[in-house]
Structure 1
Amino acid sequence: MRYIDLSTPIDASQWEPEPVTHEIVTPAEGAAHMAKEMRENFGLEFDPADLPDGELLSIDNLTLNSHTGTHIDAPSHYGTRADYAADGRPRTIDEMPLDWFFRPAFVLDLTGAGVGTVDAEFVEKELERIGYQPQPYDIALINSGAWRNAGTMAYFTDFVGLDASATNLLLDYGIKVIGTDAFSLDAPFGHILNTYAQTKDKSVLWPAHFAGRQREYCQIERLTNLDMLPQPYGFKVAAFPVKITGAGAGWSRAVAIVEE
């Protein structure tokens, strides 16, 4: 089997709308830190100088939100209302079934669509082009080409997403997870707001996300390397979310598994 990494890194050196900080505590600093912790919390004494090279272990302290890097949006991210749930409460990322995130997958090529959204007709034509009939619980992947701008401001402004009809078409197939290499499964925020200012049509306001208020599903955002998949289907994706209690999203190391 061949493994293709579909994940973008969490990199504090790259531009993000929500800044990331990454403090690296060196092994020597880690030794001093551990000596202090052992003394204050457990009354135990040891001298870091007794360690080989005076070093213990490095530590990484990061500040970031759960939508940095490749991550999975839970239903609770879409709002507080879940029309499909008996209790009206959308599930958080730690509550999602793991079997949603290790499934056969297929990829749709939207690279020629331009900035904005595509509709159900566009998706149907792309499925016809690749000759694939989606199956329940497949993971649908959107190759928008946004990965080319990763690490720049353009990554957050120049990409294509799905409108309500395209999102619902995929959900009609029984799909529970839709992934994209873009910042969002919707159109860029600026495109959404400019379109709404011109039309006053509320249906253009984050339709892919808001579809999750009526139908339970998850999104994987900020994937990469979708162009490296050797075929549009016939592979699996593993993308388990980090288990953050009560969170609307969790980071993921998404990987495509291709049998050769």
Structure 2
Amino acid sequence: MTRLVDLTAVMDPAHRALVPAEFPRFDRIVAPLISYAPPETAGREAMMGIYGCPVEHLPDGDGFGSDLVTEMTTHCGTHVDAPLHSGRTVEGRPARTMSDIGLEELFRPGLVLDVRPWALPDEGIPVSALEQAIAATGQEVEPGQAVLVRTGQERYTNDQPAFYHYPGMTGDGTRYLTGLGATVLGTDALAWDRPTPVMVQAYRETGDPRQIWDGHFAIRDREAFIVQKLVNLDRLPLSGFMVGFFPINLPRTSAAPCRAVAFLDD
């Protein structure tokens, strides 16, 4: 018997208003706008217009339910980043888009790295923490594996400031995991890197280009797919499960929202 664990965040439009001002344009990656057209109101009027029928010809006076989704980026909610998100070239070759990625590449054995003891708000997760988290699994990272980094952000919801001050991955940490063979890199944080305001401040203070989005840019050295905004990592064992990330089939995009599901054998 296989048990399914949903790792996908709910894209609730109500969460858009909760995004702090220092995260401009993040509202559209948290959730889309949704205009609802339920069967008893707008859906009914639409169906009456299409068919030219009176309301009494509809069962219980109901039309169809139909909803309009707008202001949604390809990086909205739980999503998969294609290599193109990190630049035009990866490993010296043209970066792949979502169209180029097969579903079998996104259905992989999973490994949870619990880095909560070392994860600090607004700071990068050190390689030493990743090493200790891997050791705690009793496994080694296998080539082609999905590595899911549990930072503990499941403690927070969108209406709490701590949700936006998450620990992030660095370029060194990303290259460490891809160097071990991981091809899918997931996180329960809002983003893979440190928070944008933190990186901006670090760059302006130091002028060091390594402070600019270094976790994502590390994918240019060795290809991997980044998955952000995972939930329910606390419901998974550290190893011994399969995990699938099933993106919307969008052509030539740099990312796509996905349904992330873990498959556990009871």
For residues 102-132 of structure 1, the C-alpha deviation after alignment (integer angstroms, 9 at most, x for no partner) is: 1110111122320211232321122122221
Is residue 44 of structure 2 the alignment partner of residue 31 of structure 1? Answer: yes
Number of aligned positions between the proteins: 250
Q: Which residue of 1 aligns with 2:232?
A: 225
Tell me by how many angstroms 1:45 deviates: 4.2
Check whether the contact 1:117–1:160 (CA below 8 A) recurs between aligned residues.
Answer: yes
In the superposition, the TM-score normalised over structure 1's length comes to: 0.89
For residues 44-72 of structure 1, the C-alpha deviation after alignment (integer angstroms, 9 at most, x for no partner) is: 64444311122121111112222221111
Q: Which residue of 2 aligns with 1:97?
A: 102
Q: Secondary structure at the match of 1:239?
A: strand
Is residue 111 of structure 2 the alignment partner of residue 106 of structure 1? Answer: yes
1:93-242 to 2 correspondence within 5 Å? Answer: 93-112=98-117, 113-115=119-121, 116-152=123-159, 154=161, 157-229=164-236, 231-242=237-248
Distance (Å, rounded) in 1 between the aligned partners of 2:80 and 2:188 = 12
- The 3 A distance-change label for structure 1 pair 201 and 67 is same
Q: Which residue of 2 aligns with 1:257?
A: 263
Tell me by how many angstroms 1:79 deviates: 1.9
Q: Which residue of 2 aligns with 1:7?
A: 8
Is residue 78 of structure 2 the alignment partner of residue 70 of structure 1? Answer: yes
Structure 2 segments unaligned to the other structure (5+ residues): 20-25
Structure 1 segments unaligned to the other structure (5+ residues): 39-43
State the superposition RMSD in angstroms: 1.8
Q: For 1:79, which of 87, 112, 119 is the aligned residue?
A: 87
- The 3 A distance-change label for structure 1 pair 196 and 228 is same
Distance (Å, rounded) in 2 between the aligned partners of 1:109 and 1:204 = 25
Distance (Å, rounded) in 1 between the aligned partners of 2:74 and 2:170 = 24
In the superposition, the TM-score normalised over structure 2's length comes to: 0.87
Check whether the contact 1:157–1:189 (CA below 8 A) recurs between aligned residues.
Answer: no
- The 3 A distance-change label for structure 1 pair 47 and 247 is farther
Q: Which AA in structure 1 matches 2:100?
A: E
Check whether the contact 2:112–2:148 (CA below 8 A) recurs between aligned residues.
Answer: yes
Distance (Å, rounded) in 2 between the aligned partners of 1:35 and 1:78 = 48
Runs of 4+ displaced beyond 6 Å: none
Tell me by how many angstroms 1:173 deviates: 2.2
Is residue 253 of structure 2 the alignment partner of residue 247 of structure 1? Answer: yes
Distance (Å, rounded) in 2 between the aligned partners of 1:94 and 1:150 = 32
% same residue:
30
